[in-house]
Amino acid sequence: MATAASSRQLGTTSLLLSLLLATACGPKIPPHLLPENEEQTTSAEEILSSGGQASTFSTVDEVWTYTLRGDPLARSPRLPSKNQVDAIADDIPGLIAWTATASSAGLDNPAALSRLGELTAVYPSEALVVLDRGNRLRIADQAIASSRGQLAQIGSDRLPSLLLGFQEVRNPDELGSHPLAFLAERGNLQDSIRSYADRWVLEGWLAHPRIPLGAVDQALQGPSYTRLLTSGIGRIIHERAKGPSAEPPLDLEMLWTATTLALEEASADSRGEQKTFREHEEEVREAWGVDNPVTDLLRRAVTDYGAQAGHDRSAGAALLAHAAQRFYNQCDIDPCTGLDRMETLQWAGRYDPELARIASVWELLLLKRNTDSLAVGRDTVLFQRAMIDLLDVLMATSDDEPPHADLLANKSPDSRVWNILGEAAGGDPCADWECVERQLKQRQQEALSNLPERLPDGLDPYLRRIKIRSAP
């Protein structure tokens, strides 16, 4: 079983964790399964009673420094009282609303989580998405700790809904594997879940260009967070917190080159088109001095644009490249997979109008690429990866209710899977792949119609291919 294999791989770190759990008392539990962090999370009751100190604040950074308490992942925030923030109330209406909602509705129950999550969309330019994700991570920590290392006990409970946005598992007794097992491609399950969740929360600080980053940058300097600070996302946050550099921002040629080549590859269905793509790939390889043009250029973009992240356009370009490369299984913190990549791509579009155009092209090419991957791999071991990649795009680009997490445990398709994927594609339930494919092609048509104007002319041949082949 996957759970038993994961348990055998825990090693010294998990042994120490087990000893800590066995001797712990009260509501506090170790928040990190990774050895570099020694802090503890806080219960909901402690969080809600922690504010109201005598200090008052005159800047937004002061408020967030107070709120984070040195934790960049906001798992145990100290919520300020209204009188503490009166002087800057107009600058933080979202934080005030979040605090009021948490005080009245709570932090742990599903209804409260839903209400708090809704506020992140109402106030996108404040770091409420970090508070929301950090709170979910705190609850997940408690669930993992209560399992005493036996994740199968909680795999059908709350983790998929807390960390991935799915509805809770509907039929836990029918699961063939842990719903989050797909995260553990290159490590044990516990560490993979925590590593994914840490990055997921940290990405939230870049959800909008107007989110102030002074407090989180200061928190990341702590010795417990070296791994996060030196990650791609951590470096973007650090450079952005320093403000714009005197140098003008880089142009977006590198990102457009990677995007155009990725679109051509996704649209190249015939042998002739694939041959032409390989020729273009060789031209880019020589011009840019890279081995694998799409992934190498995306990786370079994270570094080069990230170094200029004080500029909005550069920060957004680095964020977009970070999210896009994860679809190619390239990242600096495993696991690369997940159900947050497309949403992060969309966030990047908030930083600059040209980045919004690039993000719209990625939405289309990922729909096409992942539809093709599922068509080819649906009867092979590649099915689950292809399904996850496709769901990531569908869920981020639809307002429909998310599916139940049972779907994540499926390693091969059946009528129930096609039913759910048909609905996720925005259509009616399906009984077979042919029905799902028709609805996915309809989604490609919609993505084509939503493309903005003023796209580079070089994209036209590839867009026409997709338009013709996705037509009813």
The pLDDT value given to residue 41: 58
- Domain definitions of the chain by residue range: 13-241, 253-469
The pLDDT value given to residue 361: 98
**Please, which residues have CB within 8 angstroms of residue 269's CB and are 6 or more apart in sequence?**
372, 465, 469
Task: Give 10-residue mean pLDDT values along the chain (472 residues).
Answer: 37 35 34 40 72 78 96 95 94 96 93 95 97 96 78 67 87 79 86 94 98 98 96 98 93 98 98 98 98 98 98 98 98 96 98 98 98 96 95 90 86 89 88 95 96 95 97 91
- Phi then psi for residue 2, to 5 deg, are -60, -40
| Cis preceding-peptide flag for 335 (omega within 30 of 0) | yes
3-class SS string, the chain? CHHHHHHHCCHHHHHHHHHHHHHCCCCCCCCCCCCCCCCCCCCHHHHHCCCCCCCCCCCHHHHHHHHHCCCCCCCCCCCCCHHHHHHHHHHCHHHHHHHHHHHHHCCCCHHHHHHHHHHHHHCCCCCHHHHHHHHHHHHHHHHHHHCCCCHHHCCCCCHHHHHHCCECCCCHHHCCCCCCHHHCCCCCHHHHHHHHHHHHHHHHHHCCCCCCCHHHHHHHCCHHHHHHHCCHHHHHHHHHHCCCCCCCCCCCHHHHHHHHHHHHHHHCCCHHHHHHHHHHHHHHHHHHCCCCHHHHHHHHHHHHHHCCCCCHHHHHHHHHHHHHHHCCCCCCCCCCCCCCHHHHHHHHCCCCHHHHHHHHHHHHHHHHHHHHHHHHHCCCCCHHHHHHHHHHHHHHCCCCCCCEHHHHHCCCCCHHHHHHHHHHCCCCCCCCHHHHHHHHHHHHHHHHHCCCCCCCHHHHHHHHHHHHHCCC
The pLDDT value given to residue 172: 73
The pLDDT value given to residue 456: 96
